[in-house]
């Protein structure tokens, strides 16, 4: 039987990464690309969310898969930044993702491997840890590894609901669709592109609002936060719809903006903030993340400053 976990927030990372960031003068085919300023960070959706929660002063525990030599390196990186977690050993090697910043153009190239496969027994170990969680929030974030069924997060959401735990979902594709069609979550954060794939067509802004409200009305999610990059974000919940802009910042890297949003909003909710204020903090955290280079995610001082710059917006379009 798994030991009971009582941290306020538990994050799930079923397909973590070691994130390598570097710089190059120019990226071109065939030729060797000489890089510099290499840095390594522990990554993957749930791990990034936990990093943001810790940066904001909160406490989160991790559940993550790790295997092979690279899995040991991931453990070392997590220990270096002081994150505690429940490592589920797997037979495969933890993947390594590579982001290259090109000096001549300012462009960013991101290479993300598929990653290892996981077994049913390895997934069962994750389920047991979720069963043992007695905190307040579970955040399931990131892609699924090969071998994981599309309904794995739906299964975990059902367990969370049965145990009185609020389930936060940030995933995409078949996993997002299956979870929202077969389970009930507290908060889901699709990007506008992910929401379009979910409904099967491009969406104008008013249609984004209606699609988000529809998920609330039919009980798939209590809150739907749709991120739209530089255009801001939209929050649909039982009280109505809030649409807020993103603060204007100097964009240096897009890595981790979505994870920072989820981490910021979940931390604020766990601290008891009103829903709309937590939404504002999520936007501030996402904007703060793009200000940093490489893999640093958001910085607390930037988040607080940007949060103060985002004006409150009146609700409209009550969900009935």
- Per run of 10 residues, the mean pLDDT along the chain (length 320 residues) is 78 97 94 94 95 95 97 96 92 96 92 96 97 96 96 98 97 95 97 95 95 97 94 94 90 82 97 96 95 79 94 54
In this prediction, residue 294 carries a pLDDT of 60
User: Which positions ≥6 away from 124 have C-beta within 8 Å?
Assistant: none
Query: Is 259 among the catalytic positions?
Result: yes
Q: What is the CATH number of the domain that holds 232?
A: 3.40.1190.20
Alpha-carbon span 160 to 4, nearest angstrom: 14
In this prediction, residue 315 carries a pLDDT of 46
Q: Which of 19, 170, 259, 302 is catalytic?
A: 259
Q: Is residue 222 a part of any domain in this protein?
A: yes
The DSSP bridge partners found for residue 223 are: 187, 237
In this prediction, residue 230 carries a pLDDT of 84
Specify the long-range contacts of residues 125-128, CB closer than 8 Å, at least 24 apart.
125/88, 126/12, 126/14, 126/63, 126/65, 126/88, 126/156, 127/155, 127/156, 127/159, 128/1, 128/2
In this prediction, residue 229 carries a pLDDT of 86
> Which residues span the domain enclosing 292?
9-26+36-309
Q: Is residue 250 a part of any domain in this protein?
A: yes
Closest CA to 227 of 198, 188, 253: 188
Q: Is residue 320 a part of any domain in this protein?
A: no
Whether 49 contacts 60, CB under 8 Å: yes
Q: Is residue 193 a part of any domain in this protein?
A: yes
In this prediction, residue 250 carries a pLDDT of 79
Domain total of the chain: 1
Q: Is residue 47 a part of any domain in this protein?
A: yes
Q: Is residue 317 a part of any domain in this protein?
A: no
Q: Is residue 2 a part of any domain in this protein?
A: no
């Amino acid at each position: 039987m798994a030991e009971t976990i009582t941290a306020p927030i538990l994050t799930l990372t079923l397909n973590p990464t070691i994130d390598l960031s570097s710089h190059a003068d120019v990226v071109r085919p065939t030729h060797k690309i000489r890089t510099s300023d290499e840095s390594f960070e522990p990554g993957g959706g749930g791990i990034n969310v936990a990093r943001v929660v810790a940066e904001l002063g909160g406490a989160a525990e991790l559940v993550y898969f790790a295997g092979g030599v690279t899995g040991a390196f991931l453990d070392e990186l997590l220990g270096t930044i002081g994150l505690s977690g429940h490592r589920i050993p797997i037979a495969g090697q933890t993947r390594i993702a590579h982001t290259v910043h090109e000096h001549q153009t300012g462009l960013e190239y991101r290479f993300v491997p598929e990653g290892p496969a996981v077994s049913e027994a390895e997934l069962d170990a994750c389920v047991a840890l979720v069963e043992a969680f007695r905190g307040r929030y579970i955040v399931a974030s990131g892609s699924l590894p090969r071998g994981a069924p599309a309904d794995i997060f739906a299964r975990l959401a059902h367990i969370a609901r049965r145990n009185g735990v609020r389930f936060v979902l940030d995933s995409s594709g078949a996993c997002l669709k299956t979870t929202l069609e077969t389970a009930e979550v507290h908060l889901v954060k699709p990007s506008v592109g992910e929401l379009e794939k979910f409904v099967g067509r491009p969406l104008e802004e008013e249609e984004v609002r209606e699609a988000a409200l529809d998920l609330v009305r039919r009980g798939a999610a209590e809150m739907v936060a749709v991120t739209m990059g530089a255009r801001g974000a939209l929050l649909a919940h039982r009280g109505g719809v809030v649409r807020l802009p993103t603060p204007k910042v100097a964009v240096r890297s897009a890595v981790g903006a979505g994870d920072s949003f989820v981490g910021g909003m979940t931390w604020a909710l766990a601290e008891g903030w009103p829903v709309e204020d937590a939404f504002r903090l999520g936007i501030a955290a996402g904007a703060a993340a793009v200000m940093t280079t490489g893999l640093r995610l958001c910085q607390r001082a930037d988040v607080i400053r940007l949060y103060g710059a985002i004006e409150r917006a009146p609700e409209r379009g009550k969900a009935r």
